[in-house]
Chains A and B, each alone.
Chain A
């Protein structure tokens, strides 16, 4: 007797579950534990994905150093100088003493500990820097860092740096940075990276100016030490905006940028450079900032 009703009861139960499941987000909007539309990573990992993303970025940095962890190395994707552009500043290209071909430490002190000695011989102690097409080896970890935590700005910047500068793929870097701005609509740093990419690699001053204008709107330095990083960024933004205005002959706009920069960040290198640029006659100015 009971078997006769099994199937209809099952179907009714399934239908009820389906209807209830569909109605729940509407009935309890804003009161459910998970926000609608969150991706699977966010639901599974929560805030742990920030840590995971940072670990992926560190892994990419290790790959950049030939698999070695070198926190003391000043050249890195996520190194102490912070950011992908560490390589642009004072990188002595030939420091062969750091890169012995066998991977052992160049001047490893003689240790009385045999286990430490063996470890130093087996595990690579030195490091080398990834260059050229080899940089594609970093991409899987950078991709994972970006996907694990879309709010990891450094991951987007480092990935764009590798794509643009090391692999000469500015269009892929542009697509990534645009995705980064979409996912982080209030972040100014990623807009600055996008502007620099558009200006230097794509030679598109219009797109660059759009990005720097967007960055100017988003960059609001907090008072005191907490806002130091943002003030530094603001100095860069105002320099670029002044430079681009000067390039298209809008001297009033360039002057306004300089005035704002002198008021906000008077000691910034960008402010000094903009001042020099605007004082120099047009014929003498350099082609690139």
Chain B
């Protein structure tokens, strides 16, 4: 058991180090600062004191960059290993395919969450300096649910990377993420407005596709609404765990069947 945990930790650490070696995080962080800092001094109609617009833009950037980093890291966990054939020495070691898969997933997730942590700390700093609200409960809950989002996204990208080409994985996962964030909440209403096969397609998407919009608490954070109640929060995190477990089970099956 301890040996397996050590193997998992070693595999995960590799993925985390890879993110910081490629300096993606620093690039997106700098980009966010370049966008947000001039806006922080903006006084519309000569009136100062507005802050929600910058909070909203900051959170939007956090979401966009977390999706880019999460997809980029998780979709690249296996394909480079297959291309450079470094997967062979890895599998030649006394480590099971399931352990490799789960270890790499934990690494991808850890890297994404560490980037997310940096973003949220920067956001708390921004909000704290401008409004005096550093770590509000709703912000902490938003971070928690965002971690749930990364859990699902990483597992989806990992599954995609084992059954599709890297570019197809990135495209499909990107479209799914953007589509569900934009329309996920309205799918039942959209389905009700349709007739015939369109309705069935939309209902199928509604029941099977990952409801990534569950994890989006930007509206509550920006407009200072109270936290989501505990049961709903637990249900959303449970949904994330179940969906990620399903994707990992499918990924494990694909990895075991893959001809190397």
Judge if A220 is at the interface, Cβ distance under 8 Å. Answer: no
A121 near B232 with CB under 8 A, answer: yes
A159 near B225 with CB under 8 A, answer: no
A124 near B42 with CB under 8 A, answer: no
Q: How far is the CB of A185 from chain B (nearest CB, A)?
A: 22
Which parts of A108-148 form the interface with B (CB within 8 Å)?
113, 115-116, 118-119, 121-124, 133, 136-137, 139-144
A137 near B217 with CB under 8 A, answer: no
Kindly name the residue among A115, A169, A172 whose own CB sees the greatest number of chain B CB atoms within 10 A.
A115
**0 or 1 for each of B196-227: is its CB under 8 Å from A? (1 = yes):** 00000000001100010111110110110110
Q: How far is the CB of A174 from chain B (nearest CB, A)?
A: 11
With a cutoff of 8 Å between Cβ atoms, the chain A residues found around residue B46 in the complex are: 172
With a cutoff of 8 Å between Cβ atoms, the chain B residues found around residue A102 in the complex are: 225-226, 229
Binding site for A on B (CB under 8 A): 42, 44-53, 145, 184-185, 188, 206-207, 211, 213-217, 219-220, 222-223, 225-226, 228-229, 232, 235-236, 239
A113 near B50 with CB under 8 A, answer: no
A119 near B53 with CB under 8 A, answer: no
Beyond A67-B219, A103-B220, A103-B225, whether A140 also contacts B235 by CB under 8 A is no
Judge if A66 is at the interface, Cβ distance under 8 Å. Answer: yes
A142 near B217 with CB under 8 A, answer: no
B229 near A119 with CB under 8 A, answer: no
A139 near B225 with CB under 8 A, answer: no
Beyond A122-B228, A124-B223, A124-B225, whether A137 also contacts B45 by CB under 8 A is no
User: Could you name 23 residue pairs across A and B whose Cβ atoms are closer than 8 Å?
Assistant: A63-B223, A67-B225, A115-B206, A115-B207, A115-B214, A116-B188, A118-B235, A119-B184, A119-B185, A119-B214, A121-B228, A121-B229, A121-B235, A123-B219, A136-B50, A137-B50, A139-B47, A139-B50, A141-B53, A142-B45, A172-B45, A172-B47, A176-B45
A124 near B214 with CB under 8 A, answer: no
Complex-state Cα separation, A127 to B49, whole angstroms: 22
**B53 contacts which of A140, A169, A172 (Cβ < 8 Å)?**
A140
Residue of B nearest to A115 (CB): B211
With a cutoff of 8 Å between Cβ atoms, the chain A residues found around residue B45 in the complex are: 139, 142-143, 159, 163, 169, 172, 176
Binding site for B on A (CB under 8 A): 63, 66-68, 101-103, 113, 115-116, 118-119, 121-124, 133, 136-137, 139-144, 159, 163, 167, 169, 172, 176
With a cutoff of 8 Å between Cβ atoms, the chain B residues found around residue A143 in the complex are: 44-45
With a cutoff of 8 Å between Cβ atoms, the chain B residues found around residue A140 in the complex are: 42, 44, 50, 53
With a cutoff of 8 Å between Cβ atoms, the chain B residues found around residue A123 in the complex are: 185, 213, 216, 219
A167 near B222 with CB under 8 A, answer: no
With a cutoff of 8 Å between Cβ atoms, the chain A residues found around residue B44 in the complex are: 139-140, 142-144
The 6 closest A-B pairs by CB, nearest first: A143-B44, A121-B232, A67-B223, A140-B53, A103-B225, A139-B44
Complex-state Cα separation, A167 to B52, whole angstroms: 17
Q: How far is the CB of B242 from chain A (nearest CB, A)?
A: 12
With a cutoff of 8 Å between Cβ atoms, the chain A residues found around residue B223 in the complex are: 63, 66-67, 124
Complex-state Cα separation, A139 to B217, whole angstroms: 23
Q: How far is the CB of B86 from chain A (nearest CB, A)?
A: 41
Kindly name the residue among B48, B53, B211 whose own CB sees the greatest number of chain A CB atoms within 10 A.
B53
Beyond A67-B223, A140-B53, whether A118 also contacts B239 by CB under 8 A is yes
A118 near B232 with CB under 8 A, answer: yes
Q: How far is the CB of B259 from chain A (nearest CB, A)?
A: 37
With a cutoff of 8 Å between Cβ atoms, the chain A residues found around residue B236 in the complex are: 118, 122
Complex-state Cα separation, A68 to B222, whole angstroms: 11
Kindly name the residue among B207, B214, B217, B219 whose own CB sees the greatest number of chain A CB atoms within 10 A.
B219
Q: How far is the CB of A123 from chain B (nearest CB, A)?
A: 6
Complex-state Cα separation, A118 to B216, whole angstroms: 12
Complex-state Cα separation, A159 to B44, whole angstroms: 10
With a cutoff of 8 Å between Cβ atoms, the chain B residues found around residue A63 in the complex are: 52, 223
With a cutoff of 8 Å between Cβ atoms, the chain A residues found around residue B49 in the complex are: 133, 136
Complex-state Cα separation, A28 to B228, whole angstroms: 63
Complex-state Cα separation, A192 to B226, whole angstroms: 41
A167 near B47 with CB under 8 A, answer: yes
With a cutoff of 8 Å between Cβ atoms, the chain A residues found around residue B226 in the complex are: 101-103
Residue of B nearest to A121 (CB): B232
